[in-house]
Structure 1
Amino acid sequence: MRESVRLSGVPRDGEGPAPSLADSLAEVARGDQDAFATVYDRVAGPVLGLVRSVLRDPAQSEEVAQEVLIDVWRCAAQYRPDRGSAMAWVMTLAHRRAVDRVRSAQAASDREQRAALLERTPAFDEVTEQVEARLEREQVKRCMSGLTERQRQSVTLAYYRGLTHREVADLLSLPLGTVKTRMRDGLIRLRDCLGVTS
């Protein structure tokens, strides 16, 4: 098939001038494979150049350029000479294909980023538990600040440091009964502040 193709529009000896690209497209629309070989030779370079300028990636550019040339074969009947030159029509197909590939790659990248973000996002229950725990801590801090200094010391030593009543009494140099009373009064105030019902 390639032996009969005219290269760069140069006629063979004894033949007339090479057909225009528009005429060749009309022949391609009728299924003429030799005419398509002529179109291919004339547009493949410019198509690849345009696609490569949009995509930058050589492998993808070659793939998209081949898709464009298949579109030219399939859609040659859609070319309308009254709307512009044949080369402009082919280059418009190439530009659209290249832009579609860029958009498709961007959409895939966006999907991957959203999926990665969702994987890193804690589950709803985990977030809810964290928020509730934080609110409870803040409420306990607020209620602890409502205790007297002595009540706060006793409760902190017993419940946050894990000391026994006796150890608290020894540490504060107070009688055991006094420590128990302070702790009881402090816990009652905390219970009322936190709204805990017994």
Structure 2
Amino acid sequence: METLDRPPSGQDEAAIFLAGLLGEAAEGNHEAFSEFYRLTSPRVFSVVRRVVRDPELSEEVMQEVFLLVWQNADKYDSALGSPYAWLVTIAHRKAVDKVRSWQSSADRDARWMTAEWKQPFDEVGEVVTDRMEVRQVSEALTVLSPLQRESIVLAYFGSLTYREVAEKLAVPLPTIKSRIRDGLSRLRTQLDVV
């Protein structure tokens, strides 16, 4: 194979040589493609690495670039530029696409994580808080009159309606309502102090 004998030394000669290798690769010549890869991959990796930054991801992009070159070698047109220009354009586009794809994936994961994140339930903290609140309410209930305390306990802790509290205590409903209202007002004042 004549084109693989020795790579040219000048820039124009190198472009012609690489174009020849691409032409042969387009016809399915694996040796020509291997030589094209050997001669161009360091420069392509450099371009990709500057965009992608991550070495492993850069290698992945390199594989994608050269797979595209193998599949599309017949589309190279020397009238539009050198093989390096064509190759570097493909590499840069692939690298930018990879970064955008990676960023999009990272953003999507971040959105999912924040949407799905639930604050861990602190059972011990919840029990302690509940006990403290029960103690504060119990202490505040001591400032009420026995009739107010009994009415509020039956209504709020016994889950009775005002009418049921009135029947249980054999007291008229308006009296129960006023006892509870006045008792709640005193409780509120007492709890604000605590």
* TM-score in terms of structure 1 length: 0.57
Q: 1:66 to 1:7 in 2, by over 3 A?
A: farther
2:26 pairs with 1:29: yes
Partner of 1:93: 90
2:91 pairs with 1:112: no
- Checking the alignment, whether the CA contact within 8 Å between 1:8 and 1:41 is kept in structure 2 is no
- Checking the alignment, whether the CA contact within 8 Å between 2:65 and 2:91 is kept in structure 1 is yes
Task: State how far apart, in whole Å, the 2-side matches of 1:60 and 1:6 are.
Answer: 34
How far off its partner does 1:120 sit?
3.0
Q: Give % identity.
A: 37
- Checking the alignment, whether the CA contact within 8 Å between 1:7 and 1:38 is kept in structure 2 is no
- Checking the alignment, whether the CA contact within 8 Å between 2:147 and 2:179 is kept in structure 1 is no
Matches within 5 A, 1:38-57: 38-57=35-54
Q: Of 175, 178, 184, which residue of structure 1 is paired with 2:178?
A: 184
Task: State how far apart, in whole Å, the 2-side matches of 1:88 and 1:29 are.
Answer: 18
Task: State how far apart, in whole Å, the 2-side matches of 1:34 and 1:43 are.
Answer: 14
Matches within 5 A, 1:4-19: 5-6=4-5, 8-9=7-8
How far off its partner does 1:93 sit?
0.9
1:60-84 Cα offsets, whole Å, 9 max, x none, are: 2122112211211111011111211
Q: Of 149, 161, 170, which residue of structure 1 is paired with 2:140?
A: 161
Q: 1:66 to 1:184 in 2, by over 3 A?
A: same
Task: State how far apart, in whole Å, the 1-side matches of 2:31 and 2:60 are.
Answer: 23
Partner of 1:82: 79
Partner of 2:123: none
What letter is aligned with 2:141? G
- Checking the alignment, whether the CA contact within 8 Å between 1:28 and 1:76 is kept in structure 2 is yes
What letter is aligned with 2:99? V
Q: 1:37 to 1:78 in 2, by over 3 A?
A: same
Task: State how far apart, in whole Å, the 1-side matches of 2:100 and 2:21 are.
Answer: 32
- Checking the alignment, whether the CA contact within 8 Å between 1:5 and 1:37 is kept in structure 2 is no
- Checking the alignment, whether the CA contact within 8 Å between 1:7 and 1:41 is kept in structure 2 is no
How far off its partner does 1:5 sit?
4.6
- Checking the alignment, whether the CA contact within 8 Å between 1:24 and 1:39 is kept in structure 2 is yes
Structure with higher helix content: 2
Task: State how far apart, in whole Å, the 2-side matches of 1:66 and 1:86 are.
Answer: 17
* TM-score in terms of structure 2 length: 0.58
1:98 alignment partner, SS class = helix
Compute the RMSD of aligned alpha carbons: 3.6
Task: State how far apart, in whole Å, the 1-side matches of 2:47 and 2:5 are.
Answer: 23
Task: State how far apart, in whole Å, the 2-side matches of 1:7 and 1:112 are.
Answer: 50
